[in-house]
Amino acid sequence: MNRKKIIKTLFITTLCFFLIGFILKKTAKQYEGVNASFYAGNNGTYVQTGSGKVAGNLEAYNKFNSVGQIFYLLGAASGLAAVIVIIDTKRQNKG
Protein backbone atom coordinates (compact mmCIF):
# COMPACT_ATOMS: atom_id res chain seq x y z
CA MET A 1 0.00 0.00 0.00
CA ASN A 2 1.50 3.33 -0.94
CA ARG A 3 1.89 6.13 1.57
CA LYS A 4 -0.80 8.39 0.10
CA LYS A 5 -3.43 5.70 0.63
CA ILE A 6 -2.18 5.15 4.18
CA ILE A 7 -2.39 8.88 4.93
CA LYS A 8 -5.90 9.16 3.48
CA THR A 9 -7.03 6.10 5.40
CA LEU A 10 -5.60 7.45 8.65
CA PHE A 11 -7.26 10.84 8.18
CA ILE A 12 -10.63 9.25 7.39
CA THR A 13 -10.24 6.99 10.42
CA THR A 14 -9.36 10.01 12.57
CA LEU A 15 -12.45 11.91 11.41
CA CYS A 16 -14.68 8.88 11.99
CA PHE A 17 -13.30 8.31 15.50
CA PHE A 18 -13.84 11.96 16.43
CA LEU A 19 -17.35 11.92 14.95
CA ILE A 20 -18.30 8.78 16.87
CA GLY A 21 -16.79 10.23 20.05
CA PHE A 22 -18.76 13.46 19.56
CA ILE A 23 -22.00 11.54 19.03
CA LEU A 24 -21.43 9.39 22.12
CA LYS A 25 -20.58 12.41 24.30
CA LYS A 26 -23.71 14.20 23.06
CA THR A 27 -25.78 11.10 23.82
CA ALA A 28 -24.28 10.98 27.31
CA LYS A 29 -25.55 14.54 27.91
CA GLN A 30 -29.10 13.30 27.31
CA TYR A 31 -28.76 10.89 30.23
CA GLU A 32 -27.25 13.48 32.56
CA GLY A 33 -30.57 14.73 33.92
CA VAL A 34 -31.65 18.27 34.76
CA ASN A 35 -30.76 20.51 37.66
CA ALA A 36 -33.53 20.94 40.19
CA SER A 37 -33.90 22.94 43.37
CA PHE A 38 -36.36 22.14 46.13
CA TYR A 39 -37.97 24.84 48.24
CA ALA A 40 -40.21 24.93 51.29
CA GLY A 41 -42.55 27.79 52.06
CA ASN A 42 -42.45 29.46 55.44
CA ASN A 43 -44.66 32.50 56.19
CA GLY A 44 -44.64 33.71 52.58
CA THR A 45 -40.92 33.18 52.03
CA TYR A 46 -39.29 30.26 50.32
CA VAL A 47 -36.24 28.52 51.71
CA GLN A 48 -34.16 26.20 49.55
CA THR A 49 -34.08 22.77 51.12
CA GLY A 50 -32.04 20.90 48.51
CA SER A 51 -30.78 20.74 44.97
CA GLY A 52 -29.35 18.20 42.56
CA LYS A 53 -29.96 16.28 39.36
CA VAL A 54 -33.36 14.80 38.57
CA ALA A 55 -34.44 12.27 35.92
CA GLY A 56 -30.91 11.19 35.06
CA ASN A 57 -29.49 7.77 34.39
CA LEU A 58 -26.01 7.85 35.89
CA GLU A 59 -25.06 4.37 34.67
CA ALA A 60 -25.92 5.14 31.03
CA TYR A 61 -24.26 8.56 31.30
CA ASN A 62 -21.01 7.01 32.55
CA LYS A 63 -21.03 4.32 29.83
CA PHE A 64 -21.61 6.72 26.93
CA ASN A 65 -19.20 9.28 28.36
CA SER A 66 -16.34 6.80 28.88
CA VAL A 67 -16.78 5.13 25.48
CA GLY A 68 -16.89 8.58 23.86
CA GLN A 69 -13.62 9.43 25.61
CA ILE A 70 -12.07 6.21 24.27
CA PHE A 71 -13.05 7.17 20.72
CA TYR A 72 -11.54 10.63 21.20
CA LEU A 73 -8.29 8.98 22.31
CA LEU A 74 -8.37 6.62 19.32
CA GLY A 75 -8.93 9.61 17.03
CA ALA A 76 -5.98 11.42 18.57
CA ALA A 77 -3.77 8.34 18.15
CA SER A 78 -4.72 7.84 14.50
CA GLY A 79 -4.27 11.56 13.81
CA LEU A 80 -0.83 11.43 15.38
CA ALA A 81 0.02 8.38 13.27
CA ALA A 82 -1.06 10.27 10.13
CA VAL A 83 1.16 13.22 11.02
CA ILE A 84 4.10 10.89 11.67
CA VAL A 85 3.62 9.20 8.28
CA ILE A 86 3.45 12.61 6.56
CA ILE A 87 6.64 13.79 8.27
CA ASP A 88 8.41 10.52 7.45
CA THR A 89 7.31 10.73 3.80
CA LYS A 90 8.61 14.29 3.46
CA ARG A 91 11.87 13.32 5.12
CA GLN A 92 12.36 10.40 2.69
CA ASN A 93 11.54 12.58 -0.34
CA LYS A 94 14.18 15.19 0.66
CA GLY A 95 16.90 12.66 1.42
pTM over 0.85: no
Q: Which residues pair with 52 in a beta bridge?
A: 36
pLDDT of residue 35: 92
pLDDT at 53: 87
Give 44-55 pLDDT, tens digit per residue: 899 899 998 888
pLDDT in tens, 56-92: 999 999 999 999 999 999 999 999 999 999 999 999 9
| Cβ pair 38, 48 in contact under 8 A | yes
- Predicted confidence (pLDDT) per residue in 12-42, tens digit: 999 999 999 999 999 999 999 999 999 998 8
